[in-house]
Structure 1
């Protein structure tokens, strides 16, 4: 695990050369078809060297939850174990890692009917008013949610309307632990400046590779909009807004790089409080040897 542009994929592919293993992606952006450049999705050569699972699963108009990931990841882990292989989970979506390792609360699946009802109410009275309703039935959840965070307000009220119980109460219940031994490693450059430089360099390489045309193809679809989780992915939202004429090209580049750095900062915040993690800060070969030594 680690922040974006830290070198996770390269290290994982090198690990695959040393062990009988395959990679399970732990990245909420790699699940979308047609979103390749902006997500730094592994190319065909990399996939040949190290098979990846849980990429290209759904269309950008669809959603993929932590519960979906956990179910699919467990199925992949069990299948690779049955083949005598060591699953290597690689990515920076820390909520996926947490949901897999710690388990999830028994929250109900999304209901399109309830969500539509809530959205209709929001259109009439606004999300702040719905946030006030949430404060009445689940103040603990409401205090952690902005009054304009439509997605989280919708989910919290949806859970209450389906179950009759506050989401904050249900979240305290957890599934039993998985029967696996997890060896957890985090790769983070020792100098934050180096990480920032890598992020800027990678974003500009993506632009050279045709990122604008990739997002333009999504923009021209009639069934996609900027409130979808796919379009809210870092880089995609900034390019989408540029295509919509909200700001010029240079501003898009600036905002795209800044948003990516903010993502890396959030990932690092998660990692600082992560239990039982081995930190990797040196070169690729040193990191590889540290991992192999830990497994022996």
Structure 2
């Protein structure tokens, strides 16, 4: 979708709390919200799904009673939900929160959602289904390497920023070129994406990797004890296909594999913890490249509060 989704960026101060899974964002977000009159807006691509509570580590009813939460339970597991819709939903939630005299506090770990809010969205030209089908057939018959070589010739700029193994974006770039006769990179330069939020403080939580991995192991144990397997059995009983994007996420696909008899219980828990650790590492790689994030340890409550107070004081002075 186009950057025109956001007609007027929000200039009111907005707090953002990000970090890898299990680092301790929930506890800090509640403390921040209660101290600075915030309402929490989810920044998580899995917590938007209904009926998926344990495996996504959603705020509990008790936590939601303490502080209003938004963008939880937005769609059913078989509904499509993309970054453009998130940006529109999150922006509207922030507007309403500000209208009530409170401050938005975005909390989560989905870097793509945050990027959409802070950098804007680009309109992707429509692609005829015949072009898409043809490229998918060529991918199956000729292989990714040949298609990437073709992209390097017709759109070297996009080829330079797309990993050779990133099949989705490789096909997208070729689709756009074939549909419009212009490289994807040229379309991007011609558009001026508009950010939804222009006055933000980004707070990041990090801790020693060994500590984080131990927290992840404990998180896995907690999810299992709270009934993750039963949650997945319920979703399957409701008719949700295990091949859905939502059901292929960490935790859910692991329980499905166990239920199918592909893994035994011990192997399932081992792979669930391992894959969660790998996901946390990818999150840190994404966020670690952003110089605008102010990093703190989860226990640094005093310095974090001081940072927020300074930001809000400066925002009032503008």
TM-score range, shorter-chain basis?
0.7 to 0.9
Among candidates 80, 85, 97, match of residue 68 of structure 1: 85
Among candidates 170, 180, 183, match of residue 166 of structure 1: 183
Among candidates 226, 229, 236, match of residue 212 of structure 1: 229
- Indicate the residue corresponding to 2:255 in structure 1: 239
- State the shift of 1:205 in Å: 0.6
RCO higher in structure (CA 8 A, sep ≥6): 2
Does 2:29 correspond to 1:19?
A: no
Question: CA 1:70–1:125 in structure 2 vs 1: closer, same or farther (change >3 Å)?
Answer: closer
CA RMSD of aligned residues (A): 2.8
Larger radius of gyration: 2
Question: CA 1:104–1:41 in structure 2 vs 1: closer, same or farther (change >3 Å)?
Answer: same
- State the shift of 1:217 in Å: 2.4
Contact between 1:185 and 1:277, CA under 8 Å: does it hold in 2?
yes
Tell which deviates more after alignment, 35-44 or 69-78.
Answer: 69-78
- State the shift of 1:214 in Å: 1.0
- Indicate the residue corresponding to 1:181 in structure 2: 199
Among candidates 95, 98, 112, match of residue 81 of structure 1: 98
**Cα distance in 2 between the residues matched to 1:243 and 1:123:** 33
Report the TM-score, using the length of structure 1 for normalisation. Answer: 0.85
How many residues end up aligned between the 2 structures?
Answer: 290
SS in 1 for 2:284: helix
- State the shift of 1:218 in Å: 2.7
- State the shift of 1:86 in Å: 0.9
- Indicate the residue corresponding to 1:285 in structure 2: 301
Structure 1: gaps (5+ residues): none
**Cα distance in 1 between the residues matched to 2:55 and 2:215:** 15
Among candidates 130, 140, 155, match of residue 126 of structure 1: 140
**Cα distance in 2 between the residues matched to 1:139 and 1:232:** 33
- State the shift of 1:161 in Å: 5.5
Tell which deviates more after alignment, 196-205 or 128-137.
Answer: 128-137
**Cα distance in 2 between the residues matched to 1:80 and 1:104:** 23
Among candidates 274, 278, 293, match of residue 262 of structure 1: 278
SS in 2 for 1:81: helix
Contact between 2:250 and 2:275, CA under 8 Å: does it hold in 1?
yes
SS in 1 for 2:204: strand
Question: CA 1:127–1:97 in structure 2 vs 1: closer, same or farther (change >3 Å)?
Answer: farther
Structure 2: gaps (5+ residues): 1-17, 314-318
**Cα distance in 1 between the residues matched to 2:185 and 2:49:** 30
- Indicate the residue corresponding to 1:101 in structure 2: 118
**Cα distance in 1 between the residues matched to 2:204 and 2:219:** 20
- Indicate the residue corresponding to 2:10 in structure 1: none
Among candidates 259, 267, 274, match of residue 251 of structure 1: 267
Does 2:42 correspond to 1:28?
A: no
- State the shift of 1:165 in Å: 3.6
**Cα distance in 2 between the residues matched to 1:11 and 1:267:** 19
